[in-house]
Structure 1
Amino acid sequence: MNPVKGMRVRDIMVTKPVVFTSDTDLLDAVSTLVDRHITGAPVVDARGNLVGLLTERDFLQATLVAGYHGERGGCVGDYMSRDVEAVNADDSLLDVATRFIETKRRRYPVIEDNRVVGVVVRRDVLRAVMRAFELYSAG
């Protein structure tokens, strides 16, 4: 029996993730990412609907653009990734693990009715799989 087979994203997701809005100041957002030791966060509209994702990569791109043009700052909406893949809370952990492998992404926003209800991170999937196999082996 596979101890991970019945696990769902909702079993391991971060249920109160850091989120930004498009008009959040970029430097404030990056400060939050650094302070919270996270590499990215969903961007939502006023209703909590997913509209983008801000990652360290997006910020580095903004830094390069700003340095080239002699500009500074901006808003999250100016630099966020808009083509965002998300997962559902009821998706199987195995399916999401497969997606992590295939896409090389570090995180997925978790949505229900397009509203962000959590975040699942690659490391959390790895931790859950290891824990499940340890319990299975000990049992």
Structure 2
Amino acid sequence: MGIKSFQGSRRQQSTVTNDTPLKVSDYMTRDLITFTPDQTIETVMQTLIKHRISGGPVVNEKHELIGIISEGDCIKQISESRYYNMPMQDKTIEKFMASDVDTIDGNMNIFDAANKFLEAKHRRFPIVENGKLVGQISQKDVLKAAMALKGQTWK
């Protein structure tokens, strides 16, 4: 007499399959508000407020990513202009944007991207293909991806 298993039949657990969209490119925003290095700090601040965004990519005339400008960069400029008692109407963002920009590959797995957000403590990552800015992924986009996959086993 063999050993009998008293474990009832188990329902097969669903797993995320290869056809489930898990790539950054499936969740990134392609319709971006971008800035140019010759725009003034004031214009950028107006755009950030109007569109309720916390920052955005800065591109040149060839749509190549050259930097990122954030609310923090603008606040720093407000503080400095007050400290030095200098107007900021004519100040362009070129000197104040972050030019050493971390990017994410559009083919990266969304969970690897989530990990990169934790490590880098960024709010957003631009996605560049063939030297051109093609999109941006935010922390909120990663949350949307996780909610879309809710109920499935994350592997």
Q: Identify the match of residue 106 of structure 1 among 104, 117, 123.
A: 123
Q: Identify the match of residue 84 of structure 2 among 54, 58, 69.
A: 69
> Which residue of structure 2 lines up, in the alignment, with residue 51 of structure 1?
66
TM-score, normalised via structure 2 length: 0.81
Note if 1:84 corresponds to 2:101.
yes
Residue 3 of structure 1 contacts residue 133 of structure 1 at CA under 8 Å; is this kept in 2?
no
Quick one: which amino acid aligns to residue 17 of structure 1?
L
Residue 110 of structure 2 contacts residue 145 of structure 2 at CA under 8 Å; is this kept in 1?
no
Q: Which has the higher helix share?
A: 1
Aligned-partner Cα distance in 2 for 1:71–1:97? 41
Aligned-partner Cα distance in 1 for 2:17–2:78? 44
Aligned-partner Cα distance in 2 for 1:89–1:31? 30
CA RMSD after TM alignment = 1.8
Q: CA deviation at 1:113?
A: 1.7
Q: CA deviation at 1:129?
A: 0.6
Quick one: which amino acid aligns to residue 26 of structure 1?
I
Larger radius of gyration between Structure 1 and Structure 2: 2
Residue 3 of structure 1 contacts residue 132 of structure 1 at CA under 8 Å; is this kept in 2?
no
Aligned-partner Cα distance in 2 for 1:25–1:59? 10
User: Is there any run of 5+ residues in structure 1 with no aligned partner, and where?
Assistant: none
The DSSP-based 3-state class of the residue aligned with 2:67 is strand
Note if 1:19 corresponds to 2:34.
yes
User: Is there any run of 5+ residues in structure 2 with no aligned partner, and where?
Assistant: 1-14
Count of aligned pairs between the two proteins:
136
Q: Which has the higher strand share?
A: 1
Q: Deviations over 1:89-123 (max 9, x none)?
A: 22211111110011111001111122111111001
| Distance of aligned partners of 1:57 and 1:3 in 2 relative to their CA distance in 1, 3 Å threshold | farther
Structure 1 ranges of 4+ moved more than 3 A: 2-6
Aligned-partner Cα distance in 2 for 1:72–1:87? 36
Aligned-partner Cα distance in 1 for 2:72–2:44? 13
Quick one: which amino acid aligns to residue 47 of structure 1?
K
The DSSP-based 3-state class of the residue aligned with 1:84 is coil
| Distance of aligned partners of 1:127 and 1:6 in 2 relative to their CA distance in 1, 3 Å threshold | closer
Aligned-partner Cα distance in 2 for 1:27–1:83? 22
Note if 1:40 corresponds to 2:76.
no
Residue 45 of structure 1 contacts residue 51 of structure 1 at CA under 8 Å; is this kept in 2?
yes
The DSSP-based 3-state class of the residue aligned with 1:47 is coil
